[in-house]
Amino acid sequence: GQSLEQPSEVTAVEGAIVQINCTYQTSGFYGLSWYQQHDGGAPTFLSYNGLDGLEEKGRFSSFLSRSDSYGYLLLQELQMKDSASYLCAVRGVSFKTIFGAGTRLFVKA
Amino acid sequence: NAGVTQTPKFQVLKTGQSMTLQCAQDMNHNSMYWYRQDPGMGLRLIYYSASEGTTDKGEVPNGYNVSRLNKREFSLRLESAAPSQTSVYFCASIPHEGVLDTQYFGPGTRLTVL
């Protein structure tokens, strides 16, 4: 079967760094993506990793290790507005994208 | 550009009623998707259309049908609604297949089936 595992909740303090992990098991692999979703809103694209290594985009970075079927999203200099759910997603066979259940991030003052 | 638009935003149906959820994008994207999102389960793919004129089943297609009317529009139909179809439905599109999986989502339709 195909599955993505990520923690259900993470809590961190404003200004801190937080890492959200994602492990996957899929048939075929074309890349790992991350999306941010605020309560009541639609997912919005954050980052994509097609190859192993770290991709940096401002305060957000994403990492992929294809040999370990593992990736993470790193959020630095946390702000209150970063409180949201973060979804990892894998594009697998037949170009279908599978999403994880999401990690709810709570940022405290 | 409006991006991806969905109508209606909210809908309440009785069991057995039918309805069509509309989705349109003005970004000239090739591929379009329909997902449902339920608490604790993330987004699950219902149907997708890799290009105009083609549609394929996703993870949870039962009880749904789709139509890719043209490059812009991709509709989702519930022929006989059931309470298990109470969910938030998102439409999404991507500019091209097999390269960068950047999905652009519509605002969602919140459907309740009584």
pLDDT of residue A30: 82
Give A-chain residues touching B59 at CB under 8 angstroms: 96, 98
Q: Name residues whose C-beta falls within 8 Å of residue B99's C-beta, 6 or more positions apart in sequence.
A: none
> What is the Cα–Cα distance from B104 to B90, expressed in whole angstroms?
10
Considering only residues 83 to 102 of chain A, which have any Cβ-Cβ distance to chain B shorter than 8 Å?
87, 89, 91, 94-102
Are residues A95 and B45, on separate chains, in Cβ contact within 8 Å?
no
CB-CB under 8 Å, A30 with B100: no
Q: Is the pLDDT of residue B99 over 70?
A: no
Mark yes or no for CB contact B90/A98 under 8 Å. no
Taking the Cβ of residue A7 and every Cβ of chain B, the question of whether any pair is shorter than 8 Å is answered with: no
How far is CA A62 from each of CA A28, A47, A48, B95, rounded to the nearest angstrom?
Answer: 20, 7, 7, 22
Q: What is the pLDDT of residues A8-49, one digit of tens each?
A: 999 999 999 999 999 999 878 888 999 999 999 999 999 999
